[in-house]
Chains A and B, each alone.
Chain A
Amino acid sequence: MAEFFTTAIIVSTVASTFRFATSYLYAAIGETFGQRSGVLNLGVDGIMLLGAFGAYYTVLKSGNLWLALAVAAAIGMLMGLAMAYASVTLQAEQGISGIGFYLFGLGLSDLLFQKLVGTPLPIDGFPNLRIPLLADIPIVGEMLFDHSIIVYGAFLLVPVAAFVLNRTTVGLNIRAVGENPEAADTLGVSVAKVRYFTVILGSTLAGIGGAALATELGIFQQNLTAGQGFIAVALVYFGAWRPLGVMFGALLYGFVAAVVLQLKTLGVIPLGASDLAAMLPALITILALVVAVQRERQPAALTKPYERGE
């Protein structure tokens, strides 16, 4: 146990915390936009899987990582359009249609993988980008400033999302539509437009989250996400619908995952107990969620379709 507390191990644990948190963060920030406008998208995991496969396959065929990101984003966008059509235009029960989208993504990504790839070949992800000067700071530099661009992107997204939600007219529209769509409607804000926008944006980010996962791991397999998209939905609740809170949730989750991995690598956790250990992040999330939900109020119109009328 003592060897766990060496500098090298602590540094690598913290560094992988940020890496682990990345894919959750894209998906959860995206989901935050949707939920703040009143739409619960439970299909995130399926969208992440499709995005992950799209990115993996693009890299495999072209070697172009940026093209891979664009493909994943485009897949997310299309899925978002379909999800928004179901939730907003057709006013589907969001919990149920979301599960449908998840199963669609789960099945299709595996089918495409079996048909187009078959045997998993590793790919190269984005190279680490050492930030000049900052990366040279001892310890902290290695923890924070020696990651791939996709990791930096996720964390840059947090203040941007908070700024958009709180300081812009678009953000005000989103918040209003999620709390009292009728009030927004009477002031000429199109509830449908706002919700289409947030759901498509959120799904695009979920697609990118999938791409982040596939490129960071350098691999694709059936059910690569293993429920990350559902955790992302939970993180939105944990973070009380605020980007900063969501980030702390993602970091907590990433940290527990990093510690478990480290302990396994060091042999602290016996092989037989590794499945039990893998439960730990989920367990901690559930506990955190129980505490968080009692404290915070969700957007009043969450999961409620809006229809103009009496």
Chain B
Amino acid sequence: MPRPETADRAGLDLEMRGIVKRFPGVVANDHVDFDVHEGEIHTLLGENGAGKSTLMKVLYGLYHPDEGEILINGHPTTIDSPRDAINLGIGMIHQHFMLVPTLTVAENVTLGLRSPRGPLLDLDSVSERIEELSATYGLQVDPGAYVWQLSVGEQQRVEILKALYRNATLLALDEPTAVLTPQEVNELFATMRSMTAEGHALIFISHKLHEVLEISDRITVLRSGRNVGTIRAEEASRERLARMMVGREVILEPEKPPVEVDGVRLMVKGVRALSNRGTEGLRGVDLDVRGGEILAVAGVSGNGQRELAEIIAGLRPTTAGTVAIDGVDVTHADPGRRRDLGLSYIPEERMRDGAVRDFSVAENLMLHQFDKPPYARHGFLDFAEIRAHCDLLIRQFDVKTPNPEAPAKTLSGGNIQKMILARELSTNPKVLVAAQPTRGVDIGATEYIHRRLLDQREAGTATLLISEDLDEILALADRIAVIYEGEIMGVVDRADANIEQIGLMMAGIREEAGSTPPAA
């Protein structure tokens, strides 16, 4: 296939020197140095907005750096487009898969390449080569399958195959583990190790510290667009890496004092609901959450988490079953009625469902009660009351905004989330549904949100935490329910939980009643 003579050309040394990339108002990369060598896994670690993706886009020819140079095997090189990058042997596994769902695996892999039988496609020879690569690197996938039929893990394999098929010797993997179960992460790591054994150089991007420590040879930390240091994995620890990322000490595992649990505040019984695609998104879910406990729902994205949150919030109709808040059946109640009964909701899509982009911070803080006394009387808003209340919330919840009148869209992700948290917790809810509360939020804000959720637990709130981040779940939960294809695979106490068992349930393997799997 393409350039077979170079197929075993292992070894590509990359050095990026003094890379500067400016956007209006921001310096996304500020004189960043970064290098990676053959047979090595070099991790790029940093918060959202630290400049990791920008650096990778510079490497892949999607952005042109304002300053700095790129050396490949010691030679200064300009990379003007992805095509240049591909020709140099650079491959990129993007965080959001760059696949065409309506095409087959083989078509996706060969897209953009010359065909030996050009202008005709030659999918048979493409499939053959895919199968060879699959065998070498443990990347099983059917070349004739349509991408929309594949699981997320399989789609990722297609992404890696695309790069290998182009004889990439340097691969950058942008948050590849974000969408995988723990078992799939292990498989990915095995593939990555077999690639470095073949002489490939890998750049691994992640913010999951234990994964970074497990797989890396070296780790470079970016903060606010600057390289704050490169260390060997042996010298690193979670605490040290977190400190480098944030620039101060971080409490990774918050204190969790024992709390006396109360009666059932949220009950979901036999609930079924349709997904947006019209398929059955929830298939008979039973959950109870008691006052003073955090029940976490673990699972791979898209297994019914969104539907679950929405049927509780009253944003999606159920087709069967009941939902009760504080003992009152609310299955058919509107969202306002549920809020009156003590429900608060932190939605997954914070910009779409949680805030009004063009409203001010103050208006966003009042969305749920602007029409209630003391903020409104006889249909007229009392701006003095509203202002005082908002100032208090902004201070209490440490929302960093120039003023209460600034539009919500000008805030950072972490501050928008704090704003939503302030609004939702200001009513001291009986029941809180928190969907992906820290996704895409920086470590500092995450730390803060975690502490607030635990404070609320002590205040007696029944919290349903929906998260794809197992570290978060293990840090906060009292009990863990695992959801798979719209069904709860099992519920375990935090004290008895182990990652292997949860990982298996996330992959759809049901927990045997009363038994724990043998230790691995």
Q: List residues of chain A with CB under 8 Å of any chain B CB.
A: 167-173, 175-176, 179-180, 182-189, 300, 308, 310
Contacts and interface: CB of A to CB of B under 8 A. Distances in A.
B119 A189 contact: no
A168 B119 contact: yes
26 contacts: A167-B121, A169-B115, A169-B120, A171-B121, A172-B111, A176-B103, A179-B102, A179-B103, A180-B99, A180-B100, A182-B98, A183-B108, A184-B112, A186-B60, A186-B62, A186-B82, A186-B94, A187-B86, A187-B162, A188-B81, A188-B83, A189-B111, A189-B112, A300-B101, A300-B102, A310-B53
Contacts of B332: none
B196 interface: no
B112 A175 contact: no
Most buried by B among A167, A180, A310: A180
Contacts of B463: none
Given A176-B111, A186-B92, A168 B120 contact: yes
A184 B99 CA distance: 8
Contacts of B98: 180, 182-183, 186-187
A179 B60 contact: no
B121 A172 contact: yes
Nearest to A297: B102
Nearest to B83: A188
Nearest to A301: B100
A183 B93 CA distance: 11
B92 A172 contact: no
A185 B92 CA distance: 12
Nearest to A171: B121
B163 to A, nearest CB: 10
Nearest to A168: B119
Given A169-B115, A172-B110, A183 B81 contact: no
Contacts of B514: none
Most buried by B among A167, A176, A183, A185: A183
A169 B102 contact: no
A150 to B, nearest CB: 27
B121 A183 contact: no
The 8 closest A-B pairs by CB, nearest first: A188-B83, A187-B112, A183-B98, A189-B112, A180-B100, A179-B100, A188-B112, A186-B98
A185 B112 CA distance: 9
Given A172-B103, A173-B112, A186-B94, A167 B162 contact: no
Contacts of B102: 175, 179, 300
A195 B118 CA distance: 20
Contacts of A169: 113-115, 118-121
Nearest to B122: A169
A189 B111 CA distance: 8
Given A180-B101, A189-B112, A170 B119 contact: yes
A173 B94 CA distance: 20
Contact of B82 (A171, A175, A180, A187): A187
Contacts of B111: 172-173, 176, 183-184, 187, 189
Interface in B440-496: none
Interface string B176-192: 00000000000000000
B17 to A, nearest CB: 24
A168 B121 contact: yes
A179 B98 CA distance: 11
A167 B120 contact: yes
Nearest to B87: A188
B107 interface: yes
A176 B102 CA distance: 8
Contacts of A175: 100, 102-103
B115 A183 contact: no
B86 A179 contact: no
A90 B83 CA distance: 24
A310 B28 CA distance: 12
A301 to B, nearest CB: 10
Most buried by A among B83, B112, B118, B162: B112
A282 B115 CA distance: 43
Interface in B56-82: 60, 62, 81-82
A187 B92 CA distance: 10
B82 A188 contact: yes
Contacts of B83: 188
Nearest to B107: A172
B100 A184 contact: yes
Contacts of A310: 53
A187 B103 CA distance: 15
Given A186-B94, A300-B102, 14 more contacts: A168-B119, A169-B118, A173-B112, A175-B102, A175-B103, A176-B107, A180-B99, A184-B100, A186-B60, A187-B82, A187-B111, A188-B83, A189-B111, A189-B112
Contacts of B113: 169, 187
Nearest to A163: B120
B326 to A, nearest CB: 42
A169 B115 CA distance: 7
Contacts of A182: 98
B278 to A, nearest CB: 12
Given A168-B120, A172-B121, A173-B111, A185 B103 contact: no
A182 B118 CA distance: 24
A168 B94 CA distance: 27
B78 to A, nearest CB: 16
Contacts of B97: 183
Nearest to B101: A179
Nearest to A179: B100
Nearest to B99: A183
A182 B120 CA distance: 23
A134 B107 CA distance: 40
A182 B103 CA distance: 14
A96 to B, nearest CB: 24
Contacts of B100: 175-176, 179-180, 183-184
Contacts of A170: 119
Contacts of A185: 82
A307 to B, nearest CB: 12
Interface in B151-173: 162
Nearest to B54: A310
A310 B94 CA distance: 12
A188 B98 CA distance: 12
A184 to B, nearest CB: 6
Contacts of B60: 186
Contacts of A189: 111-112
A138 B106 CA distance: 47
A167 B111 CA distance: 12
Contacts of A168: 119-121
B399 to A, nearest CB: 24
Contacts of B86: 187-188
A188 B83 CA distance: 4
Contacts of A183: 97-100, 108, 111
B202 to A, nearest CB: 18
A170 B100 CA distance: 15
A168 B122 CA distance: 9
A184 B121 CA distance: 16
Contacts of B101: 179-180, 300
Contacts of B110: 172
A169 to B, nearest CB: 5
A153 B94 CA distance: 45
Contacts of A308: 62
B37 to A, nearest CB: 24
A245 B119 CA distance: 25
